[in-house]
Amino acid sequence: MIKKKLPVQLILLFAILFSFNSLVTSKVVLSSQNKTANKTSNQAAKKASAIPKLTVLLVVDQFRADYLTRLKGLFGQKGFNRLIDQGANFTNAHYAYSNTYTAVGHTTIVTGSLPSIHGIVANKWFDRKENRLVRASEDDKTTPLGGKEGASPQQLLTTTFGDQLRLSNNYQSKSIGISIKERSAVFIAGRRATGAYWFDGSQGNMSSSSYFMKELPEWVIKFNKEGFADEYFQKNWDRKLPIEAYNIADKDDASYEATWKGNTITFPHIMDGNSKEKGPSFYRQFGDTPFSNDMLTKFALAAIDNENLGKDEYPDFLAVSFSAPDLIGHMFGPYSHEAQDIMLRLDDTIGNFLDQLDKRFGLNNLLIVLTADHGVSPIPEYAQAHNLGGGRIDGLALKAEMEKLLVKEFGKVGNDKYILALINHQFYLNEELIKEKKLSLTQISEFLGQEAAKTKGISAFYTKERILTGRMPDTDISRRIMAGYSNERCGNVFLLVEPFVLIAEAEDEYMGTSHGTPYHYDTHVPILIMGNQIKPGVYKEACTPSDIAPTLANLLSVEAPSGSVGRILTEALK
């Protein structure tokens, strides 16, 4: 077969057609790529614009998770129920450690970490270097501003969500913490906070320290001059609702309840500090009452307006901790008329606060989180009266008895003592003395634990050596103890009490109730999150307040705090 050559013209035509087709194909591909790029760019811009200008954290001190269900029918529609209905409600949130105290919980919420990592293991602990009890927030290098005591988060070992937010844009964002308690305000604000403010009970002012600023802002000075607390001097705190609404509470005149000096255990309670004049005793009592919650939200709104929070391209963080429920709960217990009433009034307070936020920003433009730092046990005598077990151990007597047994077993040590302190359910041993006497710290710790565990109400003990080496029972409680333990700041022997049992480690702990155990009633807290990026609904998956900080960091596209171990709550994210 003879192959014919194609005419040159035809070859040129094919070449032109091929080149044209390639050019068209390239344009189509480029056009498609440009559309994809534009779509991606638009999505990124939409995501950036969706980042809330202001994230608001509300922490209710000593807010048991069951308050939301027990009191739901008595709450209005603008406070807790608004957050429940319009937000994500995590009903199975538990702290993952045993030392459920205020400073620990507040720190955990904003660090996404654990006490064993962030270092805040209690409200106070025994410092071996200082040879004394130290407060978690104490800092003698600071100067008080507007009050008599300085404070800072300088003992915190990790960053917080607020810190990470500010680091993300060279400190253009602001982070502010507000509370009655200084240990709550300083930790939720963060190590690099714009400001932290707390109520000074000696003068009735909102105060701060030189750690955060050189001097109080003018707007804070102006707020203090208004004398919010003074308006309540010699007024009564009475029930918000008719007495019939409190039939789900314990009797109002329960003899095991505590109260303020010179006051009654029943409603109404006069707010005078057992004094005829305004002064420290009155201001401290005011801080315990529901009306201090109103002061905090008024102060928070003043902070928003004067610090211009949420007003520019840089997102800000505002954290408010309501301390009064804890102070009331300690005295009267979680089943009291007072505990119920303060929650009903706080519901109104939060509802009004949310209304004000809505007017300023529109709630859809905000990210709002509500949680608690811990729960609380019933008053031990209440538990006993209802045949629920429980009890109260005299910690001072226990410490003295254990010291005697140690002397008998291992010999006298002159004027020194084997036991330096009993605090947070932990014995701190005099390690230097024991080493000097060439005694076995392990042997003494085991002996002390075994003898203490013979006390009615103590179910087990764990030594420092066992905890640090992981030689612990494979139980959830053991894991909680290890998660809360710090080699430097915790004791040598940890005592595990039975449920509803308290160790009265100070003279003011022989009435009322407390928290600080790995049990359900202390670890179970609410987590409510509401915002445009959140899918409303009830979420029953296991979670922890350690999950809050990494979730917020993810939503605001910033790095999670340095010690964060929590997960992102993806099930509730749009």
So which residues are the catalytic ones?
102
Return the H-helix or E-strand segment holding 56: strand 54-60
Q: 229 and 283 in contact (C-beta within 8 Å)?
A: yes
Strands 366-372 and 524-531: antiparallel
Strands 144-145 and 205-209: antiparallel
Q: What is the DSSP letter of 364?
A: G
Closest CA to 494 of 434, 429, 430: 429
Strands 458-463 and 426-429: unpaired
Q: Cα–Cα distance between 389 and 125 in angstroms, integer?
A: 29
Q: Cα–Cα distance between 502 and 422 in angstroms, integer?
A: 13
Q: What is the DSSP letter of 543?
A: B
Q: Cα–Cα distance between 222 and 565 in angstroms, integer?
A: 41
Q: Cα–Cα distance between 198 and 296 in angstroms, integer?
A: 9
Q: Cα–Cα distance between 421 and 433 in angstroms, integer?
A: 14
Q: Cα–Cα distance between 420 and 436 in angstroms, integer?
A: 15
Q: What is the DSSP letter of 368?
A: E
Q: Is 8 left (phi over 0), alpha (psi -120 to 50) or beta?
A: alpha
Length of the chain in terms of residues written? 574
Q: Say which residues have a Cβ less than 8 Å from residue 319's Cβ, sequence separation at least 6.
A: 56, 57, 58, 59, 110, 162, 175, 176, 177, 178, 188, 189
Q: Which residues, listed in sequence order, are joined to residue 58 by a DSSP beta bridge?
A: 320, 370
Return the H-helix or E-strand segment holding 316: strand 316-322
Alpha-carbon radius of gyration of the chain: 29
Closest CA to 128 of 567, 535, 429, 408: 429
What are the strands, taking DSSP E only, across 61-131? 88-94, 124-127
Instruction: Please report, for residues 33, 161, 475, 522, the alpha-carbon distance to residue 554 in angstroms, rounded to integers and kept in the order given.
Output: 28, 10, 32, 28
